[in-house]
Amino acid sequence: MAKPAGAHAPETFRHIALDDVTSTNTVCFEHARTGDPGKLWITGRRQLGGRGRRGRVWVSEPGNLYASLLLIDPAPQAELASLPLVVALALYRAIVAEMPYGEDRVAIKWPNDILVDRKKISGILIEAETLADGRSAVVIGCGVNIAHKPDNPLYPAISLSEAGVSTSPDTLFAHLMIELAGALDVWDRGEGVSEIVSQWKALVHGIGQPITVNLPDRSISGIFAGIDKDGLLALRLDSGDTMRIASGDVFFSRNDGSH
């Protein structure tokens, strides 16, 4: 487990644990709009309006982890593209901490999904808003399937209990709080992105394999060639050209066993 120190030491963060919430991301933004200085964790026992990327519904029954972190002006705007990699590293390590003999079963799927046995165990939703006073509020939402998983997911899903892991939302959150504090210190407002990318590449699933990337307006297939220094996916097309992609849903070919 990481041992963070410095600007993002765990003791510099605050934590509010709630019962039922609309969504932990929503609560974080509510705090931001009232002048909260940030470095605030919100956790909820259950979300009544949980959401994933592109407005998808996120299963939010009690027993899973629902946690969001509010950061204020965490980095220059140009550096925020690499923040999903930071969060993925932290969440990967938090999950591995509860699977000490199963690290080879855990991997990252670009940009920030965590896979257990090549099935999706978690979701990360990062949102930003410019506040009335000009500050930038960035909210990092993390959900982990501990006791439950979606019935009809876009991507094959699994829960930690199904994977044979016995843990609780509180225990997993304790790991996540420590690991994200450490990863944010390494990232250092974007100054340490090269180290983050290096660590991320060692854990990612599927580099060199054929993939399809679903974009809002089309799907593109090619070879997952890796990621660049800013964390963008490099997709090698049949033409030989390489396309850089900032956001999309990645699917692996069926013979990989991950589609």
Residue 18 phi, psi dihedral angles, 5° rounding: -115, 170
Q: Is residue 64 part of a domain?
A: yes
Is residue 181 located within the same domain as residue 56? yes
Contact 121, 144 (CB under 8 A): yes
Q: For the residues 124-138, what does the mean pLDDT come to?
A: 96
Is residue 102 located within the same domain as residue 126? yes
The residue type at 220: I
Is residue 197 located within the same domain as residue 90? yes
Residue 71: is its pLDDT beyond 70?
Answer: yes
Q: What percent of the chain has pLDDT over 70?
A: 90
CA atoms within 13 A on the CB side of 218: 3
Residue 94: is its pLDDT beyond 70?
Answer: yes
Is residue 31 located within the same domain as residue 103? yes
Is residue 160 located within the same domain as residue 223? no
pLDDT digit string, tens, across residues 167-186: 999 999 999 999 999 999 99
Tokens describing residue 97:
């901490």
Q: For the residues 201-223, what does the mean pLDDT come to?
A: 91
Is residue 14 located within the same domain as residue 98? yes
Is residue 138 located within the same domain as residue 237? no
Could you give the CA distance from residue 92 to residue 85 in angstroms, rounded to a whole number? 10
Residue 234: is its pLDDT beyond 90?
Answer: yes
Alpha-carbon Rg for the chain, nearest whole angstrom, is: 18
Q: Which residues pair with 66 in a beta bridge?
A: 143
Question: How many domains in the chain?
Answer: 2
Distances (CA, A) of 236 to 63, 184, 206: 40, 30, 13
Is residue 164 located within the same domain as residue 233? no
Q: Is residue 2 part of a domain?
A: no
Contact 140, 238 (CB under 8 A): no
Is residue 87 located within the same domain as residue 54? yes
Count how many residues are written for the chain: 259
Segments forming the whole domain that contains residue 147 = 10-201
Q: Is residue 236 part of a domain?
A: yes
Q: For the residues 223-233, what does the mean pLDDT come to?
A: 87
Could you give the CA distance from residue 137 to residue 53 in angstroms, rounded to a whole number? 18
**Cβ neighbours around 216 below 10 Å, total:** 8
Tell me what pLDDT residue 257 has.
41
The CATH number of whichever domain residue 81 belongs to comes to: 3.30.930.10
The pTM is what? Answer: 0.88
Tokens describing residue 55:
């407005």
Sign of CA dihedral 205, 144, 183, 105: negative
Residue 256: is its pLDDT beyond 50?
Answer: no
Is residue 238 located within the same domain as residue 194? no
Residue 215 CA from chain centroid, whole number: 19
Q: Is residue 1 part of a domain?
A: no
Q: For the residues 174-202, what does the mean pLDDT come to?
A: 95
